[in-house]
Amino acid sequence: MNEKEREECPEESFDGGYHLLAQEKHKERVAKNGDRIAYALEQFEKHNIEYVLKNEAAGHFHCRRKKDDHLVQFWAGTGKIYDADSHYGDSERGIHALIKYLEA
């Protein structure tokens, strides 16, 4: 079954049409990236956080922790926080958790 046939008859596809739902949900999440990036920029400015927007499409930022200028990565679209040294972000997500971590 080719892609066109799958879209016309999703109930007959390998996953019952779930791939179409997943594509739609992905598009909805990506559509919100602009607002999430704008909010992150607002919070960085408000809290005087050093940052660089590395990838606007993904909302990928490099930020610096205030106490030691350590690099921390953040993705505004998903709220993922990544600090390679401490593995902070494995259980924390979101701009407010990031700000708290960068200011500690």
Residue 6's pLDDT band (boundaries 50, 70, 90)? low
Compute the average pLDDT of residues 15-26: 70
The predicted-structure confidence for 46-56, as pLDDT tens digits, reads as follows 999 999 999 98
| Cβ-Cβ contacts under 8 Å for 47 (sequence gap 6 or more) | 99, 102, 103
pLDDT above 70: residue 22: yes
**What is the mean pLDDT of the segment spanning 79-96?**
85
Domain extent listing, the chain: 1-31, 33-103
Q: What is the reported pLDDT for 84?
A: 83
Please provide residue 84's backbone torsions phi and psi, each rounded to the nearest 5 degrees.
Answer: -60, -30
Going by pLDDT thresholds of 50, 70 and 90, the confidence category of residue 7 is low
